[in-house]
Amino acid sequence: MTENLKTGQIEEKAYLYFKKNIDKSAKMLGDLVPDWHMPPIREFLKSIPFFQYLDEKTINSLLLESKDFVFENDVKIIKVLFFFKKNKIKY
């Protein structure tokens, strides 16, 4: 918008009006704190259709053999190692 003001494509009054509204909206977004609730891992796995077919023992085994990998500033991704062949689990 600043470039539009400089080139005369927008009047100063309109520029100030829109800038004020954009700044106000940006502040409101900046103040927003989303709820990043992470459900327990067992609950999360059971919400995925594939895992709904597995019994509790198999899910426990998956969780025991899972590994955490850290990527970029403490962002964790849980990588579950499927051990179906090792445990002769049919899928």
**pLDDT exceeds 50 at position 27:** yes
Q: What is the mean pLDDT of the chain?
A: 76
Is residue 47 within 8 A of residue 30, CB to CB? The reply is: no
Residue 87 confidence class, pLDDT cut points 50, 70, 90: low
Higher pLDDT, 87 or 83: 87
Segment 21-49 shows an average pLDDT of 80
**pLDDT exceeds 80 at position 34:** no
Chain centroid, CA 12 distance in Å: 40
| pLDDT value for 80 | 46
| pLDDT value for 86 | 64
Domain boundaries, given as residue ranges, for the chain:
2-31, 41-79
| pLDDT value for 73 | 57
CA distance 36 to 63: 22
